[in-house]
Amino acid sequence: MAMTTGGGGGYSSDINVTPMIDILLVLLIIFMVIVPVVPKGLDALVPQPPKDPTKVPPPNDRVIVVSVIYNRGGAPSYKINETDVDKRELLPKLTEIYANRAERVMFVKGDDDVNFAYVADVIDIGRAANVDHIGLMTPKIMAGQ
């Protein structure tokens, strides 16, 4: 910023920046109002814990859980809810279960030691059985660990 001294009373060629700063502040406020503050993320369905942990919920026949259970040295075993099922029978059983359902939601639960490729196969079988939403179940995290 240059400053002139002296008594010569002539014209000054300095730019008056006050109106430009006013316009800049008005534009800044307009853009802050227009741009949404909260970003939109993915919609996720997250299961909520029960409100009363001592009360055991009744069994729900609407929820289908396919479990992939680790077997040492061999292919894993599979369960639909608590019923043992062979891998070749998974697709026909799931197609039969979801044939007349409006709500097609399935959860896949894999043991810790199971290779994820087996879990991915179950997800593919669920998609082939026209299941709309497939969720992965994780082990409960204990409080205090």
**Which domain, by its residues, includes 118?**
64-137
Q: What is the pLDDT along the chain (145 residues), one digit of tens a residue?
A: 555 566 666 777 888 888 899 999 999 999 888 876 666 666 667 777 767 767 665 555 667 888 888 888 778 888 888 888 888 999 999 988 888 888 888 899 888 888 888 888 989 998 998 888 888 887 665 444 4
**Is 59 part of any domain?**
no
B/e letters for 70-105, b = 16+ CB within 10 Å, e = fewer, are eeeeeebebebeeeebeeeebeebbeebbeeeeebb
The whole-angstrom separation of Cα 74 and Cα 95 is 26
**Residue recorded with tokens 């609407």:** 62
- CA-based max dimension of the chain: 101
Chain centre distance of CA 32 = 28
**Is 112 part of any domain?**
yes
The whole-angstrom separation of Cα 18 and Cα 5 is 22
Q: What CATH number is associated with residue 120?
A: 3.30.420.270
User: What pTM, to 2 d.p., does this model score?
Assistant: 0.55
Q: What residue type is 106 in one-letter code?
A: M
**Is 107 part of any domain?**
yes
